[in-house]
Amino acid sequence: MGVCVKVACVGGGPAGLYLSILLKRQDPSHDITVHERDPEGSTYGWGVTYWRGLLDKLHEHDPESARALEQASVRWNEGVAHVRELSTRQPGDDGFGIGRHRFLEILAARARSLGVRLEFEHEITDGNLPAADLVVAGDGVHSALRTRHADHFGAELKDGRNRYIWLGTTKVFDAFTFAFVASEHGWIWCYGYPFSPERSTCVMECAPETWSGLGLDTAAEADGLALLEKLFADILDGHPLIGRSSADGNAQWLNFRTLTNRTWSRGNLVLVGDAAHTTHYSIGAGTTLALEDAICLADALREQPALPQALARYERQRKAELLSIQSAARYSAQWYENLPRYIHLPPEQMFALLGQRHSPLLPYVPPQLYYRIDRAAGQLEALRRFKRWLGPKVARTVHARALSSRK
């Protein structure tokens, strides 16, 4: 990399830490510092999830940290959905869960081993920017560096309709788990996945009228958790839900904020991770996208002769790659916001459309009609695969018979 030698990464999250690792691997002489405003080890967030495709990329770009992350992760390859008294279990892609604290601990240790300086309890704003060839803003959705130049970046934040809360539990799910529960004030549901042998993440979501009708808008944290434990007793098997420690303050019910930016750089300042973009948690891609930003930026810095060209290439490539993912996330969030449209379908149809929630067509086609069309298309594709498999076998049999008849 010839475009910069001194790099300041603002924010000690996945994007900033992994970028520092990649740049140090490219050239150990680079002077790289990661600045994090919070104390080391104080991260909040329970577990993060990622998929086999990301793990393969991590092994390609830094095998040592990839091995450590894989060894510290739990995995699954099924999805489970519960609605009313019914449930279904389907095979799925290889999924991985790891505690956010452990995840950042591994990346921090790897960065330090390569000579990256990590400065915790060190908040960077526009007024105390370090002198550097490149400043990387990885300081989250509320990025102070981006906000200082909001007009330039053209940030746009859109609040989702539903309310959600991020919790932990001692119930260890054996698969990625969805559960939908009917309350007297409407449906409430959760997404759960394991991130260690002792813990799982459990994200609860509901419409705002359900949230207020159940009194969750005014309940103390302990009372709110007790109510959620009662509602989801069947899937929690008596295990408690866990909020934040008292030092971190209460767990908060939030509206998900989808962030986009018109441009991702200003001079030598560039956005990565949640400072640049967010995608709804229901597709489980936030950590993956942050790490992919770091990979793309490191590649652009290595291959382009000057910083402006490198940053332009990074932005162009990542925006193109994000189009389909952001679309999927948007439609997934809308599916849950329109849950009454699907929840009363026969269970096999409802479960099937849960798996199709990323489709841009689904909101515009009657659900039962969409289900029939999708099922017919699946059968047609299965028939096509069978014909592709059968065709060569028939040809070989005919050829063999033709040869034997000539003898």
> What's the pLDDT at 322?
96
How is residue 56 annotated by DSSP?
H
Q: Residue 388: what pLDDT?
A: 55
β-strands 6-10, 265-266: how paired? unpaired
Residues 124 and 221 in one domain: yes
| Burial of 249 from C-beta contacts in 10 A (0-12 / 13-18 / 19+) | exposed
- Which of 305, 331, 357 is the C-terminal boundary of a domain? 331
Do 317 and 377 fall within a single domain? no
Strand order through the sheet with 6-10: 117-119, 31-35, 6-10, 134-137, 269-271, 265-266
Return the CATH number at 77: 3.50.50.60
Q: Which residues face 47 on adjacent strands?
A: 99
Q: What is the pLDDT of residue 11?
A: 95
Buried b / exposed e along 258-297 (16+ C-beta atoms within 10 A):
bbbbebbbbebbbbbbbbbbbbbbbbbbbbbbbbbbbbbb
Are 186 and 230 in a shared domain? yes
Write phi, then psi, for 331 (nearest 5 degrees).
Answer: -70, -35
Cα–Cα distance measured from residue 318 to residue 26, given in angstroms and rounded to the nearest whole number: 21
Co-location of 177 and 322 in the same domain: yes
Quote the domain boundaries for residue 193: 6-331
Same domain, 310 and 405: no
342: in domain: no
pLDDT for the residue numbered 334: 96
Q: Round to whole Å and give the CA distance between 67 and 110.
A: 11
Tell me, yes or no, whether 344 lies in a domain: no
- Whether the Cβ atoms of residue 269 and residue 137 lie closer than 8 Å to each other: yes
Q: Is 373 within the bounds of a domain?
A: yes
Phi, psi at 42, each rounded to 5°: -95, 10
The last residue of a domain, from among 279, 314, 331: 331
* Cβ partners under 8 Å of residue 402, min gap 6: none
DSSP 363: G
* Listed residues 331, 355, 374: the one ending a domain: 331
Give Dmax over CA atoms of the chain in angstroms.
91
- Does residue 242 lie in a domain region? yes
Strand 86-99, strand 47-51: pairing: antiparallel
Separation between Cα atoms, residue 381 and residue 383, nearest integer Å? 5
The pLDDT, as a whole number, for residue 44 is 74
Residue 387: strand, helix, or coil: helix
The answer to whether residue 258 sits within a structural domain is yes
Are residues 322 and 375 both part of a single domain?
no
* Residue at 183 is within a domain: yes
Question: Do 241 and 140 belong together in one domain?
Answer: yes
Neighbouring CB atoms inside 10 A of 347's CB total: 15
Same domain as 402, residue 276: no
Pick from 321, 316, 308: which is nearest to 266 by CA?
308
Structurally, the chain folds into a number of domains equal to: 2
- How many C-beta atoms surround the C-beta of residue 123 within 10 A? 12
Euclidean distance between CA atoms 90 and 77, whole angstroms: 9
What three-state secondary structure class fits 374? Answer: helix
pLDDT of residue 235: 95
Q: Residue 283 falls within a domain, yes or no?
A: yes
Determine, yes or no, domain membership for 173: yes
CA distance 155 to 196: 36
Could you tell me if 298 and 228 lie in one domain? yes
Using a 10 angstrom Cβ sphere, with 0-12 exposed, 13-18 middle and 19 or more buried, the burial of residue 245 is exposed
The pLDDT value recorded for residue 125 is 81
Tokens linked to 3: 């475009």
Residue 386: its pLDDT value, please?
Answer: 46
Q: Within this chain, do residues 166 and 218 fall inside the same structural domain, yes or no?
A: yes
Alpha helices, DSSP H, located in 143-204: 144-148, 150-153
pLDDT score, position 161? 97
**One pLDDT digit (tens) per residue for the chain, 407 residues:** 555 589 999 999 999 999 999 999 999 999 999 999 999 888 777 999 999 999 999 999 999 999 999 999 999 999 999 998 888 888 888 999 999 999 999 999 999 999 999 999 988 887 888 899 999 999 999 999 999 999 999 999 999 999 999 999 999 999 999 999 999 999 999 999 999 999 999 999 999 999 999 999 999 999 999 999 999 999 999 999 999 765 556 678 999 999 999 999 999 999 999 999 999 999 989 999 999 999 999 999 999 889 999 999 999 999 999 999 999 999 999 999 999 999 999 888 898 899 999 999 999 999 999 899 888 877 666 545 544 554 454 445 544 454 454 45
Burial class (CB in 10 A: 0-12, 13-18, 19+), 378: exposed
- What pLDDT, on a 0 to 100 scale, did the predictor assign at position 387? 42
Residues 122, 253 within the same domain: yes
Indicate if 226 and 323 belong to the same structural domain.
yes
pLDDT at 13: 95
